[in-house]
């Protein structure tokens, strides 16, 4: 499968109630679960440039991971994220065919709207 037809997602978790180590553990748990899905790749985001306000632990951005998934499994991954992250504050960046969509959600309702927006974005770019 060519990577041209894959969708890249960057998921940034934000929980002010957790310290950096707890946030890191939550991110690693999510990464482990995503890897169990049918994804092309999933990994923590290495620190190359630290965005303003971001923290890093052990060379990785705290609370940030990336995944690459085929178009066929994109909805499955979004469904998983909706179930798993419904009441957490997240930023989701979706990239397909050279175009990017960035959405932020802090409730189940906002996340559902963001997922719907991401699906429409991908449908319009595939």
Q: pLDDT digits over 20-36, tens only?
A: 889 889 999 999 999 99
The Cα 64–Cα 74 span in angstroms is 19
CB 117 within 8 A of CB 103: yes
* Residue 2's pLDDT band (cuts 50, 70, 90): very low
String of DSSP letters for 92-103: EEEEETTEEEEE
Distance (Å) of CA 6 to CA 18, 72, 92:
33, 9, 16
Report the pLDDT averaged over residues 78-96: 89
The Cα 42–Cα 123 span in angstroms is 22
What pLDDT is stored for residue 55 in this prediction?
Answer: 61
Name the nearest CA neighbour of 30 among 50, 12, 7, 55.
12
Domains for the chain: give ranges and CATH numbers: 3-125 (3.30.70.120)
């Amino acid at each position: 499968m060519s990577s041209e037809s894959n969708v890249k997602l960057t998921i940034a978790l934000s929980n002010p109630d957790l310290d950096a180590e707890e946030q890191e553990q939550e991110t690693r748990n999510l990464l482990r679960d995503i890897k169990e899905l049918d994804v092309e790749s999933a990994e923590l985001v290495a620190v190359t440039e630290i965005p303003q306000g971001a923290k890093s632990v052990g060379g990785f951005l705290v609370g940030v991971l990336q995944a690459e998934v085929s178009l066929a499994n994109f909805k499955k991954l979004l469904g998983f994220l909706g179930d798993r992250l419904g009441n957490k504050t997240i930023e989701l960046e979706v990239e397909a065919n050279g175009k990017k969509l960035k959405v932020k959600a802090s409730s189940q309702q906002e996340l559902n709207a963001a997922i719907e927006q991401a699906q429409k974005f991908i449908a319009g770019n595939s």
